[in-house]
Amino acid sequence: MDITIPSLGDIEEVEVIELCVAVGDTVNIDDPIVVIESDKASMELPSTASGTVVEIKVALGDMVGEGSVVAVVEGGKKQKIEEQEEESEQEQKEAPADDVMPSAVPTGDAVQSTADIDVLVPDIGDAKDVVVIEVAIKQGDQVEVDDLLVVLESDKASMEIAAEQAGTVVTLGVAEGDEVGQGTHIVTLRVQNQQRSDVTHPESVTTPAPPMKPAPSPTDSASGPIELVPASSPDTQAQSTPKASDKKVYAGPAVRRLARELGVDLSSVVGTGNRSRITKDDVKGFVKGRLTSEPAAAAGLPQVASVDFSKFGEVELVELSRIRVRGADNLHRSWVNLPHVTQHDEADVSELEVFRESLKAEAQTKDIKITPLSFLVKACCQALAEFPEFNASLHENRTQLVLKKFVNIGFAVDTPEGLVVPVIKGADRLGIWDISKKISELSEKARAKKLAMDDLQGGSFTISSLGAIGGTGFTPIINAPEVAILGVARLATKPIWDGHDFQPRQMLPLSLSYDHRVINGADGGRFMGFLSAILSDIRRLTL
């Protein structure tokens, strides 16, 4: 059974702009086979048979005329010829004898210099459920001839209603989503130097208009007339002033439907089809682009401008290591997803430092390097036991907290390849010597690129120490999905008032960043107070 292009009225040829089926597809009567388009409108061509598509006879971009075979369907039922002819005859009887330009039907009284013209929905035949899917104008807009006013869509075709005359929008009769029928008031335009506008209009005299039926009924057949509704083509749009036409999009009904389903604003999509028509692939590509593009763009955040720096001087492009690229992604993900708060404090580590110095000789004999970091790890384990919410993750359902009954402390290691965060598993069960050993082993492995996946996984809290490098404080980014991270800066000897005198004390700057969805400021303060107290009096580590 051949599926053919029916009568196109006065139009000789239309373009195939979309294939809706592929060979092997099963179709029912009325299922769209292709979308065809004249220079004025687009519509779906419904199948006149049910069965399996065994051959597609056209390709995208082909020009087809009445009688052209579009596809061959086998194995099902064909619509009865008598039915088709009856419907066709019936439609012809019902069609108004004076079919003229189908677009906006202006009515109004004779005027001198200005007149208010009501633009109405034209005869849309038996199209059902016609919905206003786009309103391209607003009150006060100046429209030119051929500027788009509204786009209507039935279950089969979309049709653009364009301005027949230039004028100013006085009132709008429809809104997006309204259902309309023939005669519905679309807009009132205030036009200049109008004659009588309800009798005829210049275009209908000079340009023979195609017959007017917006969409074939479900039973339209190969032999019945299929009539396209004129609308402004992109060519005419391009020529007109771009005020009300700024929002115009050029897309077929199937594409518009897809865009609506995916929530895509078609005016943001660049059309790659003939005359910039938007195709389904354009819509899909747009969505894909949004999903894979910069997180900021995907989230609708403004993007940092890309600048061609070579305009200002010599530049060199250097590849970033995989660790840096992935690390940057992780940091960015955390930064945009977790509301960070950073709380600062200083711990008096004077006694800790005396104790640490006293251990150095012994450490040397054990071939262990003992630094403030080992004590920080130990102290954090104790603080996490006291404040379990800091040793947790927010469940993805966002209504539960995953409290971890283990304490695995990650620590940031600066390597030539970038920042890595190995994890000391079960740190709460280790003493200072073992923690120190672990820090040395894991940081050496990190710098030698020998870390195993297991060394990097399972962290429940992270410490980032820049103490050996310097600085008085910084705001570390949480190693999500953990909820807190401790930043450590360089300790400094400061004069601290003891109530009688200033005493020289070794003060260690601490910066705690936490996920404010999980931890509030008061808890952050308590955690810091507890941590400082332990570091100030390391005897507490034994408690």
Report the interface residues with ligand CAO, using CB under 6 A: 371-373, 411-414, 419, 439, 443, 464-468, 476, 488, 490-491, 508
Contact between residue 184 and residue 200 where contact means Cβ atoms under 8 Å apart:
no
Residue 477 Cβ, how far from ligand CAO at the closest point, in Å? 7
Q: Does 185 qualify as catalytic in the annotation?
A: no
Report DSSP letters for 182-245, one per residue: TT-EEEEEEEES---TTT--HHHHHSPPPP--SS--TT--SSSB--PPP---HHHHHHS-SSGG
As a whole number of angstroms, the distance between CA 80 and CA 384 comes to 79
Residue 399 Cβ, how far from ligand CAO at the closest point, in Å? 31
As a whole number of angstroms, the distance between CA 384 and CA 514 comes to 13
Nearer to ligand CAO, 153 or 455 (CB): 455
Nearer to ligand CAO, 73 or 508 (CB): 508
Nearer to ligand CAO, 285 or 418 (CB): 418
Evaluated on CA atoms 208, 214, 220, 226, the torsion sign reads positive
Residue 522 Cβ, how far from ligand CAO at the closest point, in Å? 26
Tokens of 9: 């009225």
Residue 483 Cβ, how far from ligand CAO at the closest point, in Å? 17
Nearer to ligand CAO, 60 or 456 (CB): 456
Residue 439 Cβ, how far from ligand CAO at the closest point, in Å? 5
Bridging pattern class, strands 461-465 and 484-488: parallel
Query: What phi-psi label fits residue 140: left (phi over 0), alpha (psi between -120 and 50 degrees) or beta?
Result: left
Bridging pattern class, strands 114-120 and 185-192: antiparallel
Residue 356 Cβ, how far from ligand CAO at the closest point, in Å? 8
Nearer to ligand CAO, 154 or 464 (CB): 464
Helix axes 372-386, 432-447, angle to 10 degrees: 110
As a whole number of angstroms, the distance between CA 325 and CA 98 comes to 69
Query: Which of 518, 504, 511 shows the shortest CA–CA distance to 532?
Result: 511
Tokens of 126: 């038996």
Contact between residue 159 and residue 229 where contact means Cβ atoms under 8 Å apart:
yes
Nearer to ligand CAO, 409 or 439 (CB): 439
Q: Which residues are catalytic?
A: 516
